[in-house]
Structure formats: C-alpha cells, structure tokens
A and B are shown apart, each in its own frame.
Chain A
Amino acid sequence: MNRRDALGRVALLLGGTVVGAELFLSGCKNAPDKNIGAGGTNFSNDDIAYFDEIAETILPATDTPGAKEAKVGAFWATIVKDCYTEADQKVFLDGMKKLNDACQQKNSKSYMESTPEQRHDLLVALDKEQKDYMAAKKKDDPSHYFRMMKELTLWGYFTSEPGATKALRYVQIPGKYVGCIDYKKGDKAWATT
C-alpha cells in the first residue's frame, strides 16, 4: 500500500475527513521497508521517499534548502537506473537493504521510523565504514554502497537549482573573467567551473 492509497482509504472510512491519518500511516511505515528495492531499478515512490530521507540527512535543510527540496531522491533513481553499470546497480540495490538493516539493528526501528538524530548517527557510522572500506579496497573492487549514496547526494544537490543558486553562487553568463579577487570567509563557492 502506498502513501496515497493509504490516505485515500482513511478518508473514505472516516467520511472524507483525514482524521488520524498520521497515526494510521505511522503504523504502516514498516510495510514499504519490507519492499525496499523490490522493483530493482524501477524505483517506487517509496524508494524515492527513502532516498530523499537519506540524502536529507547527508545534506539537511539549514538556512539553505536541503537535499529533499532539491529532489535528490529522484535524481538518485535516474542515475542508478540509467547510468550505473549492472555491477554497481547490484551494490546499490543491496545497499538499500543493508542501510535499513543496519538501522534496525542499531535502533530497533526502520530508517523511515527513526528520528533525525538516529538517522544522523547511523549515517556517521556508515560514512566511517565506507571511508575505511574505500581506503582498503583494491582498484577494481566496487565502491561501498554508502559512498555511492553520498556521491549521488552531493552531485544531485549541488547541481540542482536550489543547490547551485542558494547553497552556492551560480552565474549563467559571467561576461568577464578576473583571475584574482578578494575572498572573505562565508562567501559562497561558484557552482560551476
């Protein structure tokens, strides 16, 4: 059952008023988790919502938009489906499950059920794991799945419109080039080179 279906049924049951929907949905949150990656690279809306929440934990909304607002989850889905090799797709799809399993083990809750703090702590641990793995791996070994997710997040976010124009500075037509200007701490980096 996806979120839209669930909301529709609740509304029907209660005569058109979505009372208690949040309660109903939270009880339902385990259901999509069991289906993580079930469609392979034909990612479902639940998959993309899951990606968005991972990406948002990596690059959260601050005084600039976060990864979710930049639709980074949908970007992950596009790249993994269209651009990844089969071998990398497999690592990624396995990783979708591994991340949630690691969350279950650590917090006794799925990733989607976990609090922002729990998600953050989990990803800090996974980031350490991927850094250790990447440092030790042989040249032709595949990347760690969380390395893929982190790269997809940075790439998808900083090339998005909110990322490029709000978190960074973007000028479509600079019109001039000045090789040496003053910079003060806090000034944004250029979005493109």
Chain B
Amino acid sequence: MPAEQNTYDAIVIGSGISGGWAAKELTEKGLKTLMLERGPNYEHIKDYKTANLDPWQFPHRGEVTQAQRKERPYISRTWGAKEEVMESWAKDIDCPYTEVKPFNWWRAYRLGGRSILWGRQSYRWSDHDFEANLKDGWAIDWPIRYKDIQPWYDHVEKFAGVSGSLEGLEQLPDGHYLPPYDMTCVERDVAARIKEHYKGQRHMIIGRVANLTAPIPGRTACQFRNRCWEGCPFGGYFSTQSSTLPAAVATGNLTVRPDSIVMRILYDKDKQKATGVEVLDAVTNKTYEFYSKIVFCNASALNSAWVLMNSATDVWPGGLGSSSGELGHNIMDHHYNVGAAGVMEGYEDKYYYGRRANGIYIVRFANLFGDKRDYLRGFGYQGGGSREGWSRDVAEMSVGAGFKEALTEPGQWGMGVTGFGEILPHHENKITLDATTKDKWGLPVLSMDAELKDNELKMRKDMASEAQAMLEAAGVKEVRTWDNGHHIGDGIHEMGSARMGRDPKTSVLNAYNQVWDAKNVFVTDGACMASSACQNPSLTYMALTARAADFAVNELKKQNI
C-alpha cells in the first residue's frame, strides 16, 4: 500500500471503553481516525448470539465445558467462566502470560473489548483521591485535581448515560444522572438503619451504573433483563458498540480495522515523535505500517504498557516512555473477595419485580473526615438484599413433592456486601516482557510480578469486620464474613503501568496523558493511573480520554505536536 493510503490524522490502539471514547472525540473534532482492534469484528446486536435465548436453550445451562477450560485456563480460575460469555474471553492458550506471582487477567480480544462485559459501575473521584498520594507522601502526586476533570466527568456522563441518586457527598461527587434504580424493601431499611446508627456518617446508596433507566437519543432504555454482558440488543447500557462507536462512525471520519495487533509504535528519534504504528494482521500474519500525527494508546492498562515496552529503540531500550524507569511498574487493581452476608427476617410478605442490573453501594468512610485506621486509604462495598431462589439448600427437607413445592416459592431474604479496596502503587509491583515465551504470533508475552502488600492485607481485615458490624447494626442476622484471598487482576481493574505525574523523572505521562518522551503519543486507559482510589475506574478513564483528546486536537492546531 502506498504511504498516503495508510496515513491518518490519528490512530487509536484499542476499541474498548477508552479507545471508543478516543475515537468518538477525535473524529467529532474532525480528525481522520484509524481505530485498531487486535481481535475480530463484533457487531452491535447481530453478534449478540445468546442475548435472546431462554435459559433452557443453553445446552450446559450456564456451565462451561472441560474442553473450553483447556483453551482458556486463566479465565477458568474466575467467575467469568460462564457458558454465555466463555467465547468472549481471549483464548488464553493463543496468548499466554507468565506469572512470577499469581495473576488473573481478564481479557476480551474483539471489537469493543471489555466494554461489552464490564460491570458498568460509574463513580467520580474526589480530591480526597487526587490529593491522597501527596498527603500520605506515597509514590508521586497526581498532576491533576478534581476541578481539572470535573467538566469531563460531566461530558462523558451525559453522553454515556449513567443512572444514580444525588447524595451531596464530598468524597463521592454527584454527577449528571438518569433516574436511580429502585432499592429492594430490605435495602431501603438497611440503608436507613446504617444512616441512623452511624449518625449520618455512613451512606448506603443505590449503585451508579451506566445503564439507561430512561431512553436517550438513539438508544432504548434498560429492559431489566440483567443480561448485560451477553451484549444488549436494546443498547440499554454503555458499550463501545451501543454508544461511542456509532457516534464516531456518524462523523464519516472513522476507519476501523479489526484483527490488527499493534506490535510497536514507530518512533522518529530526530523529531522525538511517533510517526505511526506497525501492525500484525492476526489472521494473515502480514505486517503493515500506518502513519498518523498522533497516537492514542488504549489497549487496556497492561497491553498499552506492552505496546510501549515492545517499541524499544536504541534511544529508549526499555521501550517508548521508559526514561523514568517507571514503565510497567506500579501495577494496581482493586482488591476484593472479602465481605459479609446474613439473613433478614420480617419481610416474608415482600418481593420485587424485574431483574436489576445493579446493586447497592456503601460509600468509603475509612480514613476520611477524622476517621483514622492502621492503614492508608479506604474501600467501598457493593452488594444487595434479595430473596433466595431454587438453588438454596432446604435443610429440613430432602427429596420429593414437599421439597419441590418449597423450592417453587422464594426463600429467605439475604443481605450481603463485598468490599472494593484501594491498592497502593509499589514500584516493585511490575510487569515485564518475557522474551523466552512467545504467543501464537511469535510476540513476547507479559510476565506478571505483583501482589497485595501489608497495607491491603490490614485493610482486608477491616473490610470484613466493618461489613459485619454494619450489617448487624442494620438488623441482619446470622452474619458471616469471608476472605477468599485476592490475586492482582481479580478486580478486573488493573492499572498504573504508565503513570501520570508532574515530573518526567518519575512518571511516564504528563498531566494530559502525553508520553513525556514522545509528545504525540497519549495513553488514556488504566495504564495512566497514579493511584487507584477505591471507586470503579472506567468513568475516570472515559473522562481522562475525552480531556486528553481535546488537548491533543488543540495542540495539533497550535502545531505544538
């Protein structure tokens, strides 16, 4: 292909949540944009093959087969191994990774990435989060504050569609919300009792979630099927396919190329800028070069770091953006698999209608407003109160007609919460290129070397005991706690591998997500995070991406990049 046919204004690597936003913002600002996705095409509605099947139409009724487990051994360790989505995950045996320490990496290699599969919880950060590193003297200061990102939270919430309630909480700023989902009867009372018991200092609210509780232009409202991760035929939640991709396509400025594994960013050492990318076609194994004025790296936190590390040159032998020595370091996640649950008596005459694609959220309280713990930072909880179904154990009955009839009615009410805790950045929590192991395409794989440290382990004890205390204060009975341990990656919020900062000596990216060492390269996925806070991160990635795209286009206009 002649170079001019392979030349665009912008290249976006990746098509997930942040890649979709980059493509939308850049094309709407008039840039001819090429979006590269390493996996196959995955078309809105048409390719949601299981979304309209009834439960009995699944041959294994939700379970995966041993043959599927053999192809996807990593995801098989997790709750992601379900019949309806098993083929959505990357085929692990084609693209393995190695583990110095155990790591569960959830990957979706197809158009839209994990935007189809995500949990959709969407929370703003506050200055308690952006100032935390500076105040604690931990790692490096964030180069931005809430005021810098606030207009971009507004921007992305309005377009993506986020439902939630206005609470007026300093540590969890309110946004632009569609009507909140309803709480169940038990949740309403638990929320009220927690508020009363803790004198208004603790808050159980309905989850803020990127599901449409009311229609927005071009998209149908949530139908309360709670089958989001199979792909929604109604476009009832935010995904690349339902939201950013159609907007980008409508500009006429977007080209999408699936099956395109970006091997490296091409770097011109004289101009100290990227000139484009080299792509390996995943199907034909042919390589191509594509050129552009700017490159947005949105391959997901670990793969964006992989692309940068694999873009080593004699100028930057550790990879593009490696001059600080921080590329691939400071891996974070949110630690969970710890919580409490019990039963709630006295609501036997209450039930609910429909399937809510959401739960409740207990807002962070630890180490805020004078509260002091023996660890840094804090955690939130997600959970819910509902009635047991047929899968409960009816202890006093064994088999037969009476047992069957009992199971046709709803069981006891239960109420449970799971913590989501902040993980501190540590330089030694890292990923590196493993040159000795190659994937199906002959490319080096990632080696994972990250683990929970003392601060997180202390926090987990508190997460379990506070969960128990709050549920008991709210009248929940027979409360039991659990801590099933956490490997990095389990939270599906891996981040930090190319952090933002104020100083090129200690960070990979500046305050606008520009790579210090190549200013026309922007990294706006989870790689950019300087700390993890405890809120689900995707909304922040969206906002940072839109902000960086705006900055990039202005810089292009000023001919600064």
A interface, CB within 8 angstroms of B: 57-60, 62, 64, 75, 78-79, 82-85, 120, 123-124, 127-128, 131, 150, 154-156, 158-161, 164, 167-168, 170-193
Contact = CB atoms under 8 A, between A and B. Distances in A.
A177 B225 contact: no
B55 A164 contact: yes
Given A79-B60, A164-B55, A183-B350, A175 B409 contact: no
B287 interface: no
Nearest to A188: B408
Contact of B410 (A123, A124, A127, A189): A189
Interface string B40-63: 000000000000001110111111
B51 to A, nearest CB: 11
A123 B399 contact: yes
Given A168-B408, A177-B353, A192-B355, A120 B399 contact: yes
Given A159-B56, A168-B390, A177-B356, A183 B401 contact: no
Interface stretch (B1-9, B130-138, B177-185, B372-380): B177-185
A177 B66 contact: no
B188 A179 contact: yes
A170 to B, nearest CB: 8
A190 B389 contact: yes
Contact of A174 (B59, B64, B224, B386): B224
Nearest to A64: B408
A180 B60 contact: no
B353 A176 contact: yes
B407 A191 contact: no
A182 B61 contact: no
B387 interface: yes
Given A82-B60, A159-B55, A172-B225, A178 B400 contact: no
Contacts of A84: 66
B223 A189 contact: no
B456 interface: no
Contact of A154 (B224, B352, B356, B391): B391
Contacts of B185: 179-180
B409 A186 contact: yes
Given A57-B400, A60-B400, A174-B353, A193 B226 contact: yes
Contacts of A82: 59-60, 65-67
Contacts of B350: 180-183
7 contacts: A82-B59, A83-B64, A174-B224, A174-B225, A176-B353, A182-B350, A191-B55
Contact of A83 (B60, B403, B405): B60
B371 interface: no
A62 B398 contact: no
> Which applies to chain B's interface (DSSP): helix, strand, loop or mixed?
loop
Contact of B356 (A120, A179, A192): A179
Given A174-B355, A187-B409, A179 B184 contact: yes
Contacts of B407: 154, 158, 167, 189
Contact of A178 (B60, B63, B349, B354): B354
Interface centre among B64, B390, B401, B411 (most CB of A within 10 A): B390
Nearest to A173: B223
A177 B353 CA distance: 5
B182 A189 contact: no
Contacts of A193: 226, 355, 386, 389
A181 to B, nearest CB: 6
A179 to B, nearest CB: 3
Nearest to B402: A62
A60 B61 contact: no
A175 B224 contact: yes
A164 B223 CA distance: 20
B351 interface: yes
B404 interface: yes
A74 to B, nearest CB: 10
Given A175-B224, A188-B409, A189-B390, A180 B63 contact: no
A83 B63 contact: yes
Given A124-B398, A158-B407, 12 more contacts: A62-B401, A79-B63, A83-B63, A83-B66, A127-B398, A150-B399, A160-B56, A170-B55, A175-B354, A178-B354, A180-B185, A192-B55
Contact of A177 (B65, B349, B354): B354
A103 to B, nearest CB: 14
A180 B184 contact: yes
A154 B408 CA distance: 11
A176 B55 contact: no
B61 to A, nearest CB: 5
Contacts of B408: 64, 167-168, 188-189
Contacts of B404: 58-60, 62, 64, 167
Contacts of A160: 56
Contacts of A123: 398-400
Interface centre among B58, B353, B386, B391 (most CB of A within 10 A): B353
A189 B409 contact: yes
Contact of A120 (B67, B223, B400): B400
A144 to B, nearest CB: 13
Nearest to B349: A183
Given A174-B354, A174-B355, A193-B226, A78 B60 contact: yes
B141 interface: no
A189 B353 CA distance: 10
Nearest to B226: A193
B55 A177 contact: no
B94 interface: no
B187 interface: yes
Contacts of B399: 57-59, 120, 123-124, 127, 150
A172 B224 CA distance: 10
Given A173-B225, A179-B185, A179-B356, A154 B349 contact: no
A177 B181 contact: yes
